[in-house]
Amino acid sequence: MSTDPGVTGDPRTLADPLAESLRIVEAADARGLTVRLMGGMAIRAHAPDWTARTRRTEVDLDFATTSRDRAAFYELLAKEGYTPDRQHNALFGRKQAYFVDTARKRPVDVLVDTLEMCHRLEFGDRLGASRPTLPLAELLLSKLQVVRINRKDVLDALVLLAEHPLGQDDGDPDSAHGTGAISLPRIVAITSNDWGWWRTVTGNLDKLDQYLATDFRPEDLDLGQGRDVHFDPATQIASLRAAIEAAPKSTRWKLRARVGERVPWYVTPEEVGHGAL
């Protein structure tokens, strides 16, 4: 039975959301399924003692998988104690599914191959580059693609930049064994081919800089145990911006740049009533 006071129901799920999300990734691995964390638990997996995250009350779990493994992963979640939203999943399950750990009132979103919010981010062929989360470049882009970026997303982006090097690849594929890197080629490939992505990402880098200059507090990047961050976030922002601006732009990018902001360059995400990333 569950050891948590007041919690009844299926005892298989764990009270700690990070431990539970990692348990699910490991269960998927054992079955040969490619499943990775995204959203808040992915950030926490890379900075487990970061106080800005551990103080938050959200318990949502967000997973990424591929179309090949989608059906088997949905079956796995059901076997591991999660109740599917059958109506939602019947309508949208090819791209996104919703489950709930009813006893813990814990929602679970599963995205298949693609994140579609303000911009479209395809990750299906990238899941093998990192474990247990999406590759760091994708995690950072998932924050920097938010046009109306909020303080939570700003801090998530800052901690990723402060804790990981900018590199020419994704670094060690398993964060348990080595340091991952934020792949500059991956980010630049997107921002150099899609003007809309470029406009949103560079605009949000401006907002990160502004936050550091006017609103930053030392506790915002308190990683616990009295240690400092590995990299100066302002320097990382400047290096990332320089790489984005220096990269040659595609013909498609140049044609869209002529139109500029006269035409919307992003999509306003629809509210579906589930937990946000």
Q: What is the pLDDT of residue 203?
A: 98
How wide is the angle at C-alpha 276 spanned by C-alphas 130 and 217, nearest 5°? Answer: 80
Three-state SS annotation for the chain: CCCCCCCCCCCCCCCCHHHHHHHHHHHHHHCCCCEEEEHHHHHHHHCCCCHHHHCCCCCCEEEEECCCCHHHHHHHHHHCCCEECHHHHHHHCCCEEEEEECCCCEEEEEEECEEECCCEEECHHHHHHCECECCHHHHHHHHHCCCCCCHHHHHHHHHHHHHCCEECCCECCECCCCCECEEHHHHHHHHCCCHHHHHHHHHHHHHHHHHHHHCCCHHHHCCCCCCCCCCCHHHHHHHHHHHHHHCCCCHHHHHHHHHHHHCCCCCCCCCCCCCCC
pTM: 0.90
Which of 3, 75, 11, 69 minimizes the C-alpha distance to 36? 69
pLDDT at 275: 42
Per-residue pLDDT at 216: 95
pLDDT grade for 49, boundaries at 50, 70 and 90: confident
pLDDT at 37 over 50: yes
**Residue 57: per-residue pLDDT:** 59
Q: What is the mean pLDDT of residues 51-76?
A: 87
Backbone torsions φ then ψ of 269, nearest 5 degrees: -60, 140
